């Protein structure tokens, strides 16, 4: 009998390890194990989402006639590790071979590569071909290039998969409509409610389990309304295309107090665990353009996130691991402030984004990048701690996606492997793209002093402190000219405000 192990983020019927599975001949194992659920303290909603999606997937496999062994988290026999569960099944049954699709995380792949020897049985690790670009394909693309830039990779993906193309030309004449996608939200904006699903009996059982077993983990478990089946994940995609895609482009970078979901798709949860596949999401958006229900700036912008950023980020991960996880270009070492777990800070933008993260296990990209990420960079937070936080708090977070976003996009800890400059910004950016500043006790327009927005002085302080590493960067050198023109007294105020603020931060108050 062949044993096929399916991991929690491999919930696709088309998975490579299941492709040739034969009902009656093979057994499929899914296990909720302590090692995976607790190696960081994942958000309660993330654990509930994955356990419920796994249980529903097991049912879907059974309904196709497969024999499934499903190990519940609180089963008395559960050994707590994937290896332990494979071994336990091998001891109970005659297993001739183990087949697994390669895991998305380096840590687990590294471990699984030793399983054949440890189990004394053939172990076949199959490629995960649910991505549009294989890790080898990305390596080939990257080899010999002086710099790795999303834009060139993205164009190749569009050509290779004939997405938004007119023969060999991009539809509409341009590859990228990003310049149209930076509108601030108007005061009156009707944001559709996100797609939500009532928990069924299986989800209710999982919610009770998570309440019981993970009380110390971050985040609010209730209300829980995520999709946990492929059918409902597809409905989430359909609702996005019908109700949100049209404005996705315009308000892609906008942030509005009390509107955590905006016009984003909320499909990362489902894409990353396999309930949705990237190309079907891309084709659904493309169809909306051809049907005339969504404009090109929205459709292209959305498609770029999936065939561009998502694939690119994964490529960077496999290209650069394991060293990538230890990079720290700016030698940043500040501990993560306590308010990252509570949201208790006077800085309204951070307060909103963290409180929403706690409630939903979700924040949209600009909240992650330009509020929490930007602050993490300017405050000099230690990359490993930041990375662990992002991995724990979002229900779509897996190391392959989270780590390059943290070490590459927000912290520039990789020294610019794929970003041409750090995404550092003052309060002016946040004020331009949101209404958070209207509700803040700090003033975004004030540059120094007690009332000044901390982003304003921390921005210059960061540039000053890292001058040696950044002045030579052609995209930053202009900014240093403004620093050079600043009076000494202004520079001193910036430095002393930053010292005061960061000292308070170390005492966990901001």
Ligand X SMILES: Cc1cc2nc3c(=O)[nH]c(=O)nc-3n(C[C@H](O)[C@H](O)[C@H](O)COP(=O)(O)OP(=O)(O)OC[C@H]3O[C@@H](n4cnc5c(N)ncnc54)[C@H](O)[C@@H]3O)c2cc1C
C-alpha torsion sign, points 82, 88, 93, 97: positive
Q: Does 440 bind ligand SF4 (CB under 6 A)?
A: yes
Residue 455 touches which of ligand SF4, ligand X, none (Cβ within 5-8 Å per kind): ligand SF4
Select from 63-71, 268-276, 337-345, 442-450 the region that touches ligand X (CB under 6 A).
268-276
Binding ligand SF4 (rule: CB under 6 A), the pick from 289, 302, 400, 442 is 442
Residues 397-456 binding ligand X (CB under 6 A) are: 397-398, 401-402, 405-406, 409-410
Structure tokens of 86? 């494979």
Give the three-state DSSP class for 265: coil
Select from 99-107, 181-189, 428-436, 457-465 the region that touches ligand SF4 (CB under 6 A).
428-436
- Least distance CB 60 / ligand X (angstroms): 22
Tell me 336's DSSP state.
Answer: P
Cβ pair 219, 43 in contact under 8 A: yes
Burial class (CB in 10 A: 0-12, 13-18, 19+), 215: exposed
Cβ pair 22, 4 in contact under 8 A: no
Per-residue x/- marks for ligand SF4, 312-351, CB under 6 A? Answer: -----------------------------------xxx--
Select from 138-146, 290-298, 343-351, 389-397 the region that touches ligand X (CB under 6 A).
389-397
Q: Does 185 bind ligand X (CB under 6 A)?
A: no
Residue 103 touches which of ligand X, ligand SF4, none (Cβ within 5-8 Å per kind): none
- Decide whether 346 or 420 has the Cβ nearer to ligand SF4: 346
- Decide whether 43 or 310 has the Cβ nearer to ligand X: 310
Binding ligand SF4 (rule: CB under 6 A), the pick from 33, 444, 458, 494 is 444
DSSP state letters, 48-91 = HHHHHHHHHHHHHHHHTT-EEEEE-TT-TT--SSHHHHHHHHHH
Residue 437 touches which of ligand X, ligand SF4, none (Cβ within 5-8 Å per kind): ligand SF4
- Range 441-459 burial, b when 16+ CB lie within 10 A, else e: ebbbeebbeeebbbbbbbb
d(CA 168, CA 34): 50
- Least distance CB 272 / ligand X (angstroms): 5
Structure tokens of 189? 């904006």
Burial class (CB in 10 A: 0-12, 13-18, 19+), 134: middle
Strand ranges in 107-201 using DSSP code E only, listed in sequence order: 123-126, 165-166, 169-170
Residues lying near ligand SF4 in the complex (CB under 6 A) are found at 347-349, 427, 430-431, 436-437, 440, 442, 444, 453-455
Residues lying near ligand X in the complex (CB under 6 A) are found at 264-268, 271-272, 302, 305-306, 309-310, 313, 364-365, 368-369, 373, 390, 394, 396-398, 401-402, 405-406, 409-410
């Amino acid at each position: 009998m062949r044993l096929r192990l399916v991991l929690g983020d491999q919930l696709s019927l088309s998975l490579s390890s299941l492709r040739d599975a034969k009902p009656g001949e093979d057994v499929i194992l899914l296990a909720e194990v302590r090692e995976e659920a607790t190696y960081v303290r994942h958000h309660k909603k993330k654990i509930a989402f994955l356990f419920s999606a796994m249980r529903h997937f097991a049912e879907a496999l059974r309904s196709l006639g497969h024999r499934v062994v499903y190990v519940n988290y609180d089963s008395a026999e559960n050994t707590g590790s994937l290896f332990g569960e494979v071994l336990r099944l091998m001891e109970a049954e005659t297993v001739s071979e183990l087949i697994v699709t390669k895991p998305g995380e380096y840590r687990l792949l590294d471990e699984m590569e030793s399983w054949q020897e440890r189990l004394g049985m053939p172990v076949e690790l199959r490629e995960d071909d649910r991505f549009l670009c294989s890790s080898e394909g990305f390596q080939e693309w990257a080899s010999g290039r002086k710099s790795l830039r999303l834009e060139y990779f993205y164009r190749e993906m569009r050509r290779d998969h004939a997405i938004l193309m007119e023969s060999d030309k991009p539809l509409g004449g341009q590859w990228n409509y990003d310049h149209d996608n930076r509108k601030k939200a108007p005061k009156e904006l009707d944001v559709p409610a996100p797609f939500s699903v009532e928990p069924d009996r299986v989800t209710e059982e999982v919610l009770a389990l998570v309440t019981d077993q993970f009380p110390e983990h971050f985040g609010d478990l209730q209300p829980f309304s995520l999709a946990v089946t492929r059918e409902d994940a597809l409905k989430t995609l359909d609702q996005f295309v019908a109700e949100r895609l049209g404005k996705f482009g315009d308000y892609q970078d906008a942030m509005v107090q009390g509107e955590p979901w905006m016009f984003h798709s909320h499909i990362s949860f489902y894409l990353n665990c396999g309930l949705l596949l990237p190309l079907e999401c891309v084709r659904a958006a493309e169809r909306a353009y051809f049907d005339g229900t969504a404009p090109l700036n929205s459709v292209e912008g959305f498609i770029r996130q999936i065939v561009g950023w998502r694939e690119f980020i994964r490529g960077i991960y496999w290209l650069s691991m394991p060293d990538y996880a230890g990079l720290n270009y700016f030698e940043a070492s500040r501990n993560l402030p306590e308010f990252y777990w509570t949201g208790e800070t006077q800085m309204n933008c951070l307060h909103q984004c963290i409180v929403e993260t706690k409630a939903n296990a979700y924040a949209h990209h600009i909240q992650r990048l330009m509020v929490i990420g930007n602050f993490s960079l300017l405050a000099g937070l230690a990359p490993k701690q930041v990375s662990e936080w992002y991995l724990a708090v979002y229900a779509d977070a897996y190391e392959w996606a989270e780590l390059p976003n943290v070490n590459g996009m927000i912290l520039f800890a990789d020294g610019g492997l794929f970003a041409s400059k750090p995404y550092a910004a003052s309060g002016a950016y946040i004020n331009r793209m949101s209404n958070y500043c209207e509700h803040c006790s700090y003033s975004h327009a004030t540059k120094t002093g007690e009332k000044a927005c901390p982003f304003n002085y921390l921005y210059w302080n960061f540039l000053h402190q890292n001058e040696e590493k950044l002045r030579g960067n052609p995209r930053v050198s202009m900014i240093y000219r403004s620093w050079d023109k600043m009076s000494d007294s202004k520079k001193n105020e910036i430095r002393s405000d930053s010292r005061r603020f960061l000292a308070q931060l170390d005492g966990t108050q901001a």
